[in-house]
Structure 1
């Protein structure tokens, strides 16, 4: 295949991706591209001259991928590495690290556009099953897959020479951590701007959550919760601690203060997937909540059932089994919490049922660790980070 045919195939691949998954396509369009016949892989991401480059070896690319749909899939793979910020997260530990290669590829390959078929030579959950006989869970973060892969293999296999993309150049950021992070975020924000009119395309809700993590302005979870409480129904009561606003010179007249009718119900995930360290972070967060929110705060733990926590500082954890979010809302109704006057705060790693939840409660806040996503198909409420 001559250079003209190769260029046309790459261009067709980009056009196909823009048609099938516009957001992924625009992520690629906002990267500078460099053709390098000496590159070790067909595609790779490299930090150079204060920008992120998509490095393409056209010879290897056309050897491994034979049509525009396969090239579109390979480009989507690179876009997903960017969306999950893998080049930043694993830059320091990338050198000759097969665990990172496999863990990050398994994570992103689950979200490739299914309408385009399968990406040749891709590392997938099925690949790991064929190699080990173990079926890893769906839709986990790359860090989870890395830990599971390290447990499965005494000698973690290499992706091999026929792998489409390479991760070795992620370490090219060197000490430019902040600059490269800002540049990567800018690529995603520009892609978001480019797709506002046409739409992001059909992408998984977990990918949308990850995109929103970057493009939506961040506010501290405490300020978000206080704002939410301030919008709840409230009543006013007389108080000698305030001047009367209408007749401030009359010291004998009582003023008024607002008191919230809202109740705050806090739920701590106690399932087996939560580590003791995460529970400690959750408890610290709950203590801050109870001290700082001007409302009646009730605290519970949950796994597949809800349990009362009478005193947070004396709570002794007994790790449960699975996680069911529906039990939270069922329990709130059983205990006659008012859906209009209850703020529900759920501290969790996001791993629960995938089906849509049934609830009348609208003031819901999910507090998740960084890089974690909510498992339910149609997330509602606000997702915050602690």
Structure 2
């Protein structure tokens, strides 16, 4: 294969990715690109000269990947590293750390466009199962996979070397962490804007959550919750301490004040996947909440069922089993909470069922730890972070 054929194959791979997964394709298009025939891997991300570069070794790329679909998958893999900001998160730890390479690759390979087939030489959950007999959980964050793999294998180098994707360039950041973070966020924001012009295509909800983490301006979750409470319909009550706004000169007419009937229903995840430390953080958050919000706050715990917490200060945790979000909305309906006047706050690690029945409750807020995603395929409400 001559150089023109190799270049055409790479161009066809980019076009294929733009057609199949516009978001991933636009992330690649917004990266600076550099051909390096001495690079040890077919593709890699590198911080250099105030920019994020996609480094391509055409020789290795076209030797390992023989058609445009496979190249599109390899490019999508790099785009997903950008989405989850792996080059930033693991810049300092990455050097000579094979476990980080494997954990981050397993995390992103679960979101590759299925219509394009399989990426050759990819590190997957199946790879780990074949070598260890252990089936790792799906759709976890890279940090979880890194911890699990470190426990499973004494020598991670025994898992082999992936010459398609390299991570050495992540450690180039040095002291430029803030600049590199801003540059990576700009790549994601531009790609998101470009994609909206032409249509997003099929994007997993977890990927979209990660994009939103970057492109949506961050506000403290308490501020968001207060805004939600302020939007609850209110009723008016006569008050002689207020002037009548329509006829202010009539001192004999009473005015009106607004009274809010908002109710806050708080649900604390008590499933087995929640550590005692996480449960303690959630409980402290709820204690603060009950003191700060001018509303009727009701508190519950849940796993596969909902349990009343009569006094938050005296709640003693007994870890449950699985997690079912549906039980929350079933309980709200059974207990006749008003869908219009109730704000629902769910403190959870996001691990639960993938599908949930439609609910009439519209003021729903999911409060998750950093880097965790909600398991529901079509999430509703707002996802906030501790």
Confirm or deny a common fold (TM above 0.5).
yes
- Is the contact made by 2:326 and 2:356 (CA closer than 8 Å) also made in structure 1? no
SS in structure 2 at match of 1:82? helix
- Matched residue, 2:132: 132
Q: Does the CA-based 8 Å contact 2:10-2:68 persist in structure 1?
A: yes
d(CA) in 2 for partners of 1:241, 1:44: 68
In structure 2, distance between residues paired with 1:348 and 1:189: 28
Query: Partner residue of 1:181?
Result: 181
Between 151-160 and 56-65, report the one with greater CA deviation.
151-160
- The answer to whether 1:206 aligns with 2:188 is no
User: Where in structure 2 are there 5+ consecutive unaligned residues?
Assistant: none
The CA distance in 1 between the partners of 2:181 and 2:242, in whole Å, is 49
User: Residue 231 of structure 2 corresponds to which residue in structure 1?
Assistant: 231
Give the corresponding residue for 1:276. 276
Q: How many residues align?
A: 386
Q: Using the alignment, how far apart are the partners of 1:358 and 1:120 within structure 2?
A: 39
Pairwise CA RMSD: 1.8
Kindly indicate whether the alpha-carbon contact (under 8 Å) linking 1:355 and 1:377 is maintained by their aligned counterparts in 2.
Answer: yes
In the alignment, does 2:92 pair up with 1:88?
Answer: no
SS of 1:157's partner is helix
- Distance in 1, matches of 2:89 and 2:233, equals 43
Q: Which residue of 2 aligns with 1:259?
A: 259
SS, match of residue 266 in structure 1: strand
Q: Is the 8 A contact 2:325 2:356 kept in 1?
A: no
Change (3 A) 1:282 1:253: farther
The structural deviation recorded for 1:254 is 6.1
- Whether the 8 Å contact between 1:122 and 1:163 is mirrored in structure 2 is no
Question: Partner residue of 2:301?
Answer: 301
The alpha carbon displacement at 1:243 in A equals 5.8
SS at match of 1:186: helix
Alpha-carbon distance change, 256 to 158 in structure 1, aligned in 2, over 3 angstroms: farther
The residue number in structure 2 matching 1:360 is: 360
Do the aligned partners of 2:40 and 2:163 also contact (CA within 8 Å) in 1? no
Using the size of structure 2 for normalisation, the TM-score is 0.95
> Deviations 1:20-50 (Å, cap 9, x if unpaired)?
1111011000011111111111111000000
Aligned-partner Cα distance in 2 for 1:286–1:325: 19
Could you say what secondary structure the match of 1:197 adopts?
Answer: helix
The CA deviation at 1:293 is 1.7
The structural deviation recorded for 1:258 is 2.1
Sort the Cα spacing of 1:77 and 1:331 in 2 relative to 1 into closer, same or farther, 3 A. same
Provide the secondary structure at the position in 2 that maps to 1:180: helix
Give 3-state SS (helix, strand or coil) of 1:332's partner. helix
Secondary structure in structure 2 of the residue aligned to 1:47: strand
Q: In the alignment, what sits opposite 1:221?
A: 221
Are the counterparts in 2 of residues 266 and 344 from structure 1 also a CA contact under 8 Å?
yes
Cα displacement (A) at 1:99:
1.4
Q: Return the TM-score normalized by structure 1.
A: 0.95
Q: 1:247 offset after TM fit, Å?
A: 7.2
